[in-house]
Amino acid sequence: MAEQAYRALRNAIQEGRLEAGQRVLELELCSWLKVSRTPIREAMRRLQSDGMLVHAPGGGLSVAQHDLRAVAELYDVRERLEGAAAGMSARFADATEIHMLQAMVDTHRQLPDDPKVHARENTLFHEQIYRAAHNRFLLKSLQDLHDSVVLLGRTTFAAPGRIAEALGEHQAIVAAIARRDEVEAEQLARRHVRRGYELRLAAMAEAARAGSQNRIDGLKDLPRR
């Protein structure tokens, strides 16, 4: 039960159904998931450990949120690590791993024009690059970093034209890896992350102007599992 509660809450945060800064209350979570307090408390402890829940002013817990400085720091380290992973993949990936990366890009092109679908596939694509770098410490660092990225809210794939643009960037990265061009692979991956940062800042500015469109007060509208 605790594992199911953890996954359900983590997914709600990742998908933006629980927004950054939103207070989460134990009783409401129990009502939503139809479980007792014990698994909810365990799930909330794990999410605190992950950095996805933090202590809220006045007591209780809320979904962690990043200010502009934190976002800049996050994307700076992400750019460096993603670049390193792509460069190392160009050196260490075997033929099967390169074929898998190309197959993933080909599959992405056939997906429906749905930002959430592409965001999930994008995560899988990048995780494959991390594994192809064959460095356990880099892999762990990038996986941990992903937990901070999901707190940023709506995917940048929702930006007009971003799906096609990102697919082109992915294809270029895979081509550089296949050529064993470490420098080019790293540069392309870093450019890819920088573009994501630009779109993230634009999305944050838009959200600040428009106000929340996705917040679910009291969790009343969250789907049951």
Q: How many domains are there within the chain?
A: 2
- Residue 14 — very low, low, confident or very high, per pLDDT cuts 50/70/90? confident
The distance between the two most distant Cα atoms of the chain, rounded to a whole number of Å, is 56
CA distance 37 to 26: 7
Q: Which domain holds residue 59?
A: 2-65
> Are residue 72 and residue 60 in the same domain, yes or no?
no
pLDDT at 210: 66
Helix axes 37-50, 2-14, angle to 10 degrees: 50
> Are residue 89 and residue 165 in the same domain, yes or no?
yes
Answer for the pair 177, 93: CB distance below 8 angstroms, yes or no.
Answer: yes
More confident residue, 210 or 150: 150
Q: How many helices (H) and strands (E) does the chain have?
A: 9, 3
- 54: phi then psi, degrees, rounded to nearest 5: -135, 165
> Are residue 50 and residue 73 in the same domain, yes or no?
no
Q: How confident is the prediction for the chain on average, in pLDDT?
A: 88
pLDDT score of 20 more than 80: no
pLDDT score of 211 more than 70: no
pLDDT tens per residue, range 65-122 = 788 898 999 999 999 999 999 999 999 999 999 999 999 999 999 999 999 899 989 9
> Are residue 114 and residue 54 in the same domain, yes or no?
no
CA distance 102 to 145: 24
Q: Which of 46, 65, 84 is the last residue of a domain?
A: 65
pLDDT score of 154 more than 80: no
- Does any domain span residue 215? no
Q: Of 14, 180, 166, 2, nearest to 87 (Cα)?
A: 180
